[in-house]
A and B are shown apart, each in its own frame.
Chain A
Amino acid sequence: MSDATQDGPVLAADGTPLKRSLSRALRAQKLRALMLIAPLLLFILITFIAPIVDMLFRSVENQIVSETLPRTVVELEGWDAEGVPSEDVYAALAYDFMEAAERRNHTRLGSRLNYETTGISSLFRQSGRGVDDIGEDYADQFHDLNPAWEEPETWAALMGAPDWVEAQSADDVDGAGLLFRLSVAIQEVLPETSDAYRSFARTVQSEDDDNPVAEEPWNTVYLALYRDLSTGDVSGYDGLMADLLAEAAAAVPDFEGMTPREAFADINDDWLDTEVWATIEAFSDPYTAGYFLSAIDLQLTPDGVERQPPEQRVYLLLFNRTIFMSMAITLMCVLLGYPIAYLLSNLPARTSNLLLILVLLPFWTSLLVRTSAWKVLLQQQGVINDLLVWIGLVADDARLALINNQLGTIIAMTHILLPFMILPLFSVMKTIPPSYVRAAKSLGATNFTAFRRVYFPQSIPGIGAGCILVFILAIGYYITPELVGGRTGTFISNRIAYHISSSLNWGLAAALGTILLALVLVLYWVYDRIVGIDNVKLG
């Protein structure tokens, strides 16, 4: 009470105001708690959350087209999607494709675009083999005009920055040497050629570890030179080899050869197909909704979003089946779990603890053990069929197909997930006081009415918790459907695994995974609302 007589703020023992002293103590306490949590949080963020975010990113990521065919993508922006693209687009494609083929990237891009339009994969593989012939006819004519064009040194001296050329021409250059740098003067006069030559020089350096000064350029570089000389004007150039260039510029109007478009059409007619170009253009953005559209049976076409052709609509069916079967499994678990939980919560503690072991043992037993047990039991020559034949319910030649179908998945997964239903139900039912039911009965309710009007409503939280838990676990199951589901009893998870390990369509796997994850997270949030994640109990 003496404080009340004191003036000013209440002071702590050391003389600081009590309020500040308390808030400092609280801050220290918070900091200590966070310091204890921080290592684990960091660990989970790196080992678990980062991978999930990476997956989300992969479901929209689509850099592959713009990275592999950068020039083509730029040129295609001017294409009106009507008719065949211009020669410029084909020339850009030739430069890009040559580099991609040397770097062996084109097959990867081919398989990527093949997910969208079938046939592109083989088109790309074939073109990868034929692309080094594009521009060969021009190369020959340049060689005939002046043998200097055949010499790698000519090209290096013409294209490279002077100090780079000097450094690379020394005798002691081992392997690739310094990264190629372009001469500024030539870049203005021969833009396409210098770009094509730089692409050549850097690819040769990084892929083959060769010095560009000693390598003859690709044929596409000659194609670029022809295109530059026939459209541009080199009279203003007075740098190195200006006379060689002037001679070539004078001769070029008489040159004959295939245009880039003809050259590609010569490799494969499909290059004149607007659908191929529409696909490349549609997926040239670095980010795409294409995988998500595929995951819900839609596709991106030049005319906008459309449904997949009927024979390719599989994913909505799979999502439906996954949800339907998970619901069936959840329902089975409620039907089988409710009586057990009811029995356990009403028996004396000693007996119910003994019986609880029968629930906990399956819970602790390896998932694969239980799945293999069902695989063994449900086979056509398995124990259950043998038993049915022996009893005489089923003829020996008409054994039941219990496995490799939806029935097999539902039976095995109900068994596997049943403990996850019984345990939350049991923990809720244990708290229901028996006196309520007795009171209802003493007021004249029959057994059934007392159960329906008094007991059952109080057990609903347990049913809710168990159902959400079982449904969440069921919807993402992979192992059991894979082993006992056959073709008709598999879930969306199995498709995701297929796309990761067999078809290598990682983007689609990521998109399917993201949709599944969203579904689970919504349920997780509901579960947190109803039960609270702090209240999850194990065993």
Chain B
Amino acid sequence: MDTKLPPYATFGQRAWFYGFRVICGLIFFFLIAPIIIIIPLSFNAEDFFTFTPGMLALDADAYSLRHYTAFFGEDGYPWTGLLVGLGFGAAVSALFYFLGSKNLFPILIFGILGLIVGKLWGLEGEEWMTPLRNSLRIAPVATLLSVSFGTLAAIGLSQSHVPFKGAIMAILISPMIVPLIISAAGMYFFYSRIGLQGTFMGVVLAHAALGIPFVIITVTATLVGFDRSLTRAAANLGANPVTTFFRIQMPLILPGVISGGLFAFITSFDEVVVVIFVGSAGQQTLPWQMFTGLREQISPVILAAATILVAISIVLLTVVELLRRRSERLRGMSPS
């Protein structure tokens, strides 16, 4: 299909040209509208799941933040946490400054971390905040496990002579292919046998296993474009294999490792089926709470939670996209 309509196009060609674009527009609408529409609905002042007449008339009273207030609860010390985090970040930045680098990122990162930790510190039995805290405790540990094991294995797999490469690859990718309900059933049976069912450790191990295929796929994809003569050059200049790995290979594949990690994180953070079976009430995560909420009594607070998750996915998507471009630039491809 040409991108522009030639001046001599017949009526039929014109109709098809615009008609096709309208069809595609409708499909894009189908893809994106359900996600967008929950955002205004989450500001509904009533307990309804549709637009009230007041909302349609853009009446300010018909909108409110009450579902967000319900989501965040009232306990916690977010502002204290924020202040502590900002202070800590500023200290780190000052340290960096003396070491000769003007980097203000620590202030931002520690500020956000302080806000979250302050909010979630020591919460018990809150409807939404406790599950959120559980999610934020499980996902990073699972991500760390899958990234460290996965990166090592991906480097091993990208070597030129690997025996049984196909079989190993098939096993390592299988957690992504096997239906979640089957993984969940198997893990439930097996983890009950070895006493991991209903423990924090059990959920972490299960989520790490589910995240590994994503790390393997992204890191091997980055390693495909890796120029091996760089490591040989490093060795030639006297670097030992460990130095070569950390100074040469790691910085180059880091974008792939980070996006693999983000995939693993989102896998764990969004995962419901396995955690329902492997976890117990003490490990209830945010998606689990949403699932329960949707199945039993659906409350508009779910829409507030959903909106927050959409915001998080937009941030993650942006980061992954930026990393992909950086990786392609580092490997000398023109970013597309």
Contacts and interface: CB of A to CB of B under 8 A. Distances in A.
Interface of A: 26, 29-30, 32-37, 39-41, 43-45, 47-55, 58, 336, 339-340, 342-343, 346-349, 353, 355, 357-362, 364-377, 379, 381-383, 386, 415, 418-419, 447, 472, 475-479, 482-483, 493, 496-497, 500-501, 506, 509-510, 513, 516-517, 520, 524, 528, 533-534, 536-539
6 closest A-B pairs by CB: A476-B179, A36-B156, A51-B186, A51-B190, A40-B153, A55-B186
22 contacts: A29-B160, A36-B152, A41-B153, A47-B208, A49-B174, A54-B190, A364-B266, A368-B287, A370-B35, A373-B35, A376-B303, A382-B50, A383-B37, A383-B51, A447-B16, A476-B180, A476-B181, A479-B272, A500-B188, A513-B185, A517-B182, A539-B321
Given A369-B313, A375-B294, 17 more contacts: A30-B163, A33-B161, A44-B212, A55-B189, A347-B3, A361-B314, A368-B270, A368-B309, A371-B294, A376-B38, A476-B178, A497-B181, A510-B189, A516-B182, A520-B178, A524-B177, A536-B217
Interface string B157-192: 101111100001111111101111111111111110
Interface string B35-56: 1011001000000111100000
Contacts of A355: 28
A195 B302 CA distance: 62
Given A44-B212, A361-B314, A368 B272 contact: yes
Contacts of B179: 475-478, 493, 516-517, 520
Q: Which DSSP category, helix, strand, loop or mixed, fits chain B's interface? A: helix
Contacts of B287: 366-368
Nearest to A39: B149
Given A375-B298, A483-B295, A496 B49 contact: no
Interface stretch (B19-27, B72-80, B107-115): B19-27
Given A340-B28, A368-B290, A376-B41, A472 B336 contact: no
B191 A51 contact: yes
Contacts of A501: 277
Given A44-B171, A346-B3, A539-B324, A369 B35 contact: yes
Contacts of A348: 3
A501 B150 CA distance: 32
Contact of A47 (B2, B184, B209): B209
A33 B180 CA distance: 30
B291 A368 contact: yes
B317 interface: yes
Contact of B175 (A37, A48, A483, A539): A48
B162 A44 contact: no
B189 A43 contact: no
B31 A479 contact: no
Contact of A41 (B48, B172, B295): B172
Contacts of A343: 1, 20-21, 24
Nearest to B169: A533
Given A47-B205, A377-B34, A361 B171 contact: no
Contacts of A374: 34
Given A34-B156, A37-B153, A372-B38, A510 B24 contact: no
Nearest to A497: B181
A367 B314 contact: no
A158 to B, nearest CB: 41
A524 B169 CA distance: 13
Contacts of A377: 34, 37
B206 interface: yes
A52 B182 contact: yes
B233 interface: no
A382 B27 CA distance: 21
Contacts of A368: 270, 272, 287, 290-291, 294, 306, 309
